[in-house]
Structure 1
Amino acid sequence: MDATGHTERENAGDREPVLDVVDRVCELCFGLFMALTFVGTVSAVGASADAGHKMFYTALGCNLAWGLADAVMYLVRTLVSRGRRMTVAHSVRSEPDAAAGVRALRDAMASWLKPLIGDTELESIRRRVAARPDLPQRAVFVRDDLIAAASIFVLVVAATFPVALPFVLFAHVPTALLVSRVLTIVMLFGSGVALGHYAGFRGWQAGLAMAVVGVLLTMAIIALGG
């Protein structure tokens, strides 16, 4: 995707995913942790005959709300980031001093990239940006932004079901709690494996680390009143 986010692929098969692995896994884990805060308190309401159903619908309602909030904030973040890139692009195109344009590009770069790209490469980029006649005047949403926001919403909400649904399916609360915890650990482990493969780590070690971190984080959230 270019600086403005409007580049269209001629071949649909060449399109990049609207969410990368990190985004998908993190959003799923976010929904998982939210649901776990309700499961962690099930013992406090376990005396009620319909406690499991209440807990499930409460967890689902919470994740619906947070999924919506997370999706909206993704759109806000995307529009602001795209607007910033467009501001830099327009600044470079309108700057008559080539050296000043190169400095503007370097200032906008991530710090880890700056030592890797010299002024010669940046000057080539500056010339291409300056020559573009089709830079939009303002940042706007594109279709993939809405698809990504909808995907975030679905991921957060979907994470509710493996954690909370056992309390609807099993009348015996200890059994439901056991099934929920097993599914939770499996999901955390799988999430860690996915992140590990993406980052170049050993999958099983990353999965184990994610499971441990997830359990500890959930305990901390519950202890803090989450």
Structure 2
Amino acid sequence: MANTPKTSIGAGTPAAPEGAEMREPVLDVVDRVSEMCFGLFMALTFVGAVASGTGGPNASRTMLHAALGCNLAWGLVDAVMFLVRTLAGRGQRLALALAVRNAKDRSVATALIRDALPRKMRSLVTETELEAVRARLAADPTLPARPRLNLGDLLASVRIFCIVVLTTFPVALPFVLVADVRQALLISRVLTLAMLFIAGWALGRYAGIGGWATGLGMMAGGAALTAAVIALGG
């Protein structure tokens, strides 16, 4: 699914809100692969469900409309929820920054910063480093009055929508080119598994855990889901 905004503060550096923070790429490899897999699984399960009750001469058209309609709807939902998560995460970081700035005691402020760190990093950061972060936050004049969305966030939501929707087309294309619904459904499922392998391979290469193993694992998960859909009547 969509990129979840980070709500913790990295070691030695504050997660400064809004314009004070250095923006990361709008969507990284993990985000793009997650959205691609989400679109594929949504199309796979929804098309399987529709296939169980579809027949007649217009079956292929119905399957095509089902796949595209499903992912248009969920692409929109996912894009909107990305904006909601982004705004909520930004508000949480701003609240932390204001709490640190307004703390009357330095030890309380540094404790707030330490609590915001990932659990495994808390023991790696010294009091001196925490105090340096506290001092920078206290002196930062750029804290906004409230969290806001910006153009980059809107572009990210558009990208999420496009990834989810465009992922559907290879899955839906067989229903346009092949008249036999069962054959088209088989080709669609094979294409879905191939795309899941590519997504897993890219994710494995990015994470440094092996492209082939991750690709095969992702494809195996897709095959298991496909088998479950078929067993349930899809």
| Fold equivalence (TM over 0.5) | yes
Which whole-Å CA distance do the structure 1 matches of 2:186 and 2:99 have between them? 58
* Unmatched segments (≥5 aa) in structure 1: 10-14
- The answer as to whether partners of 1:79 and 1:140 remain within 8 angstroms in 2 is yes
Question: What is the aligned counterpart of 1:66 among 66, 74, 91?
Answer: 74
Distance 1:225 1:171, change over 3 A: closer
Which whole-Å CA distance do the structure 2 matches of 1:7 and 1:55 have between them? 48
Partner of 2:18: 5
SS of the residue corresponding to residue 40 of structure 1 reads helix
Matches within 5 A, 1:164-183: 164-183=172-191
Question: What is the aligned counterpart of 1:116 among 113, 119, 124?
Answer: 124
> 1:28-61: per-residue Cα shift (whole Å, max 9, x none)?
1111111112332465356411111111112211
Question: What is the aligned counterpart of 1:103 among 108, 111, 133?
Answer: 111
- The answer as to whether partners of 1:79 and 1:139 remain within 8 angstroms in 2 is yes
Distance 1:42 1:88, change over 3 A: closer
Report the more deviating stretch, 215-224 or 136-145.
215-224
Give the Å deviation of 1:70: 0.9
Report the more deviating stretch, 82-91 or 213-222.
213-222
Question: What is the aligned counterpart of 1:162 among 167, 170, 179?
Answer: 170
Which whole-Å CA distance do the structure 2 matches of 1:224 and 1:82 have between them? 42
> 1:127-151: per-residue Cα shift (whole Å, max 9, x none)?
1111111110110001111111111
- The answer as to whether partners of 1:31 and 1:160 remain within 8 angstroms in 2 is yes
Matched, 1:211 2:224: no
Aligned length, in residue pairs = 221
Give the Å deviation of 1:175: 3.4
Matches within 5 A, 1:26-175: 26-41=34-49, 44-45=52-53, 47-175=55-183
> What letter matches 1:3 in structure 2?
A
- The answer as to whether partners of 1:67 and 1:154 remain within 8 angstroms in 2 is yes
Which whole-Å CA distance do the structure 2 matches of 1:221 and 1:2 have between them? 43
Compute the TM-score of the two structures, normalised by the length of structure 2.
Answer: 0.86
Report the more deviating stretch, 104-113 or 66-75.
104-113
Which whole-Å CA distance do the structure 2 matches of 1:139 and 1:59 have between them? 36
Which whole-Å CA distance do the structure 2 matches of 1:4 and 1:43 have between them? 48
- The answer as to whether partners of 1:46 and 1:173 remain within 8 angstroms in 2 is no
Runs (4+) off by over 6 Å: none
Aligned-residue RMSD, C-alpha:
2.2
- The answer as to whether partners of 1:39 and 1:163 remain within 8 angstroms in 2 is no
Distance 1:145 1:215, change over 3 A: same
Distance 1:162 1:192, change over 3 A: same
- The answer as to whether partners of 1:185 and 1:211 remain within 8 angstroms in 2 is yes
> What letter matches 1:190 in structure 2?
I
